[in-house]
Amino acid sequence: MGKSPKESFVFGTLMCAGMVIGMTLYNLVLALGFTHRVIPAFLVGVWPGFFVALLVELLVVGRVAYWVAHRVAHPQESPRTFHITLRTVLMGSMVLIMTVYGTLLHVGFSGFLKTIYLGHLWKNVLMALPLNLLVVTPLVQASFQKLFPQVQTQH
């Protein structure tokens, strides 16, 4: 995470982009299989998904996650616990909301909305957690350090 608003915005945008790319590909492969249709569908669907996710993260989830993380763990006393709490709340909240987005986008307000949402939700949680912790966060931290070498990330 950056120390200035600009650095925080860049870090959040990179995290959002990485997660949207990974989760979009994952959900398309679940829906279409490993077929030639995945790449065109990805190229069409990733941009709206990214902008929705970025707006949700910037306007709602980021603020709520920071509020929760500050109530659970104090950054000065336990920075590691604070950042783990923050990442968990961010990831969990974004999965809940973006699964609603994806379900509504592909199913609409049908009678199957709740069933399909719940069916996708558990699959998305199973993928989002390792994607966030093992792939996106390390890649974004490395990229961020190259963009802002003086800033120490604590994620």
Domain assignment present for residue 104? The answer is yes
Q: How many domains does the chain have?
A: 1
- Is pLDDT at 153 greater than 60 in this prediction? no
Joined together, the tokens standing for residue 98 give: 């973006």
DSSP label of 37: T
* Whether the Cβ atoms of residue 88 and residue 125 lie closer than 8 Å to each other: no
Domain assignment present for residue 48? The answer is yes
24-57 pLDDT, tens digit each: 999 999 999 999 999 999 999 999 999 999 999 9
pTM greater than 0.75 (yes/no): yes
Q: What is the pLDDT of residue 57?
A: 95
Q: Residue 9: CB partners within 8 Å, gap ≥ 6?
A: 2, 58
* Whether the Cβ atoms of residue 32 and residue 154 lie closer than 8 Å to each other: no
Domain assignment present for residue 87? The answer is yes
Q: How far apart are CA 155 and CA 142, in angstroms?
A: 11
- Is pLDDT at 152 greater than 80 in this prediction? no
Residue ranges making up the domain that contains 15: 5-147
Nearest in space to 155 (alpha carbons), one of 141, 139, 135, 134: 141
Domain assignment present for residue 120? The answer is yes
Q: Which residue has the higher pLDDT, 113 or 17?
A: 17
> What is the number of other CB atoms lying within 10 angstroms of the CB of residue 132?
23
Q: What is the largest CA-CA distance in the chain?
A: 53
- Is pLDDT at 89 greater than 70 in this prediction? yes
| Average pLDDT for 111-124 | 89
- Is pLDDT at 84 greater than 90 in this prediction? no
Domain assignment present for residue 154? The answer is no
Domain assignment present for residue 67? The answer is yes
Domain assignment present for residue 153? The answer is no
| Average pLDDT for 117-139 | 94
137-148 pLDDT, tens digit each: 999 999 999 988
Give residue 112's pLDDT band: very low, low, confident or very high (50, 70, 90).
Answer: confident
Q: Residue 107: CB partners within 8 Å, gap ≥ 6?
A: 113, 116
**What average pLDDT does the chain have?**
90
- Is pLDDT at 110 greater than 90 in this prediction? no
